[in-house]
Amino acid sequence: MIRNPKPIHIALLVSGILALAIALVLYFVLESELINVIIIFTLTAGLSFFLFFYTLEFFIYRKIKLIYKTIHSLKTQKYDAVIENFSWEKDPIFEMSKEVINWARDKKMEIDQLKKVADFRKEFLGNVSHELKTPIFSIQGYLHTLLDGAIYDEEVNTKFLKKAAKSTDRLSDLVADLLEISSLESGELQMNLDRFDINSLTKDVYEQFEIKAKEKNIELLIKEGCNKPFFVIADKFRIRTVLVNLVSNSIKYGKEHGVTSASYYVMGDNILIEIADTGDGISQEFLPRIFERFYRVDKSRSRSNEAGGTGLGLAIVKHIIEAHHQAVNVRSTIGKGTTFGFTLKAIQ
């Protein structure tokens, strides 16, 4: 039994069976002479063979072959190569079925991915609109109140101007963060690699947040055994941005009288840097989306809340670390706190 029959094999088989059947009927039923049976058998076999072969080759297999090549070319975008490499040694019907199934599966995955992208785009546009609307409406409200006469009220004019200025600062930060992410995603932003001590940089960032930490009685410390130089090669300015975002978040969402700690671990050619807090922690279900733009674990948190930022900090952290061809991760335990970690290339 031929595993992958060609049109010629099928035509030979069918024409042979048909000619044999006719010959048997002529010889045993109609009792024709043997010579006549042989002649009719030969003519029937020859004519039916060419008829079946032509039908299979030009009307069936060539159509299947064309469909197969078309589907394959759509997948690979290499139509000419498919034509040259097509082999009759393979069963075209089986191959076509396999290609159709694979093509359908790939298209379904592509459609599912496009749906996710579309949903993400809609969510992103909604978040951007909300983030921009909040400070703009605040500024608009304060300025119109002042224009309506409050500017002459010495008790409120300065207060309203300060609030409007604060909203413009928030708007400016939001636009700056959006531009930062856009540059990182497009690959336009080049990393300026330099050798520096990550522990020293962390201490500088700690000094920047010293006052805010004291307001919540949060202690900023370096984990025991880690308070020594750890040299890395990276873009110092961008890594400072990473540390600023992580330390800032640890203070914003940490508990009063808590601790923000930094630790460093040598891992082969890399150094793992971790910033941990003793806050309420984050549920495991939210961790996979924590680095998405504008994603907030606490949906009830007001976007104008003092504790809230632009919602882009962790997304910027992720993009900066990935631009260094390194990884960032998060782990958290409810009631105990959250730890963000990222790796950088170590250097002596």
Q: Average pLDDT over the chain, rounded to whole?
A: 79
Place of tokens 């042989």: 38
Is 73 strand, coil or helix? helix
The predicted model gives 234-239 an average pLDDT of: 93
Identify the helix (H) or strand (E) that includes residue 94: helix 92-147
Q: Which of 102-106, 120-124, 313-317 has the lowest mean pLDDT?
A: 120-124
Sequence letter at residue 61: Y
Give the rounded percent of residues in the chain with a pLDDT score beyond 70. 74
Distance CA 225, CA 227 (A): 6
Q: 181 phi and psi, to 5 degrees?
A: -65, -40
The predicted model gives 274-296 an average pLDDT of: 86
pLDDT greater at residue 149 or residue 261: 261
Q: Which of 91-105, 141-155, 174-188, 251-265 is the most confident on average? A: 251-265
pLDDT (0 to 100) of residue 328? 94
The predicted model gives 277-294 an average pLDDT of: 86
pLDDT (0 to 100) of residue 137? 84
Sequence letter at residue 321: I
pLDDT (0 to 100) of residue 304? 42
Residue burial 127-141, b: 16+ Cβ < 10 Å; e: rest: bbeebeebbeebbee
pLDDT tens track for 192-229:
899 999 999 999 999 999 999 999 999 999 999 999 99
pLDDT (0 to 100) of residue 34? 76
**Taking 70 as the threshold, does the pLDDT of residue 79 lie above it?**
no
Confidence of residue 132 (pLDDT cuts 50, 70, 90): confident
pLDDT (0 to 100) of residue 67? 64
Q: Which of 112-121, 205-214, 261-270, 324-333 has the lowest mean pLDDT?
A: 112-121
Q: Which of 67-81, 183-197, 248-262 is the most confident on average? A: 248-262
Distance CA 246, CA 249 (A): 5
pLDDT (0 to 100) of residue 38? 80
The predicted model gives 7-24 an average pLDDT of: 75
Q: Which of 149-153, 229-233, 316-320 has the lowest mean pLDDT?
A: 149-153
Q: Which of 36-40, 249-253, 296-300 has the lowest mean pLDDT?
A: 296-300
Q: Which of 122-136, 207-221, 252-266 has the lowest mean pLDDT?
A: 122-136
Distance CA 184, CA 238 (A): 11
Distance CA 180, CA 295 (A): 17
* 259-267 vs 219-222, strand pairing mode: parallel
Distance CA 343, CA 247 (A): 16
Confidence of residue 89 (pLDDT cuts 50, 70, 90): low
Distance CA 68, CA 76 (A): 12
Q: Please count the residues of the chain.
A: 348
The predicted model gives 238-255 an average pLDDT of: 92
Output the pTM of the full model. 0.59
pLDDT tens track for 290-345:
888 777 665 444 444 444 556 788 888 998 999 899 999 999 999 899 999 999 99
Q: Could you give all domains of the chain from N- to C-terminal order, each with its CATH number?
A: 7-90 (no CATH), 132-186 (1.10.287.130), 193-346 (3.30.565.10)
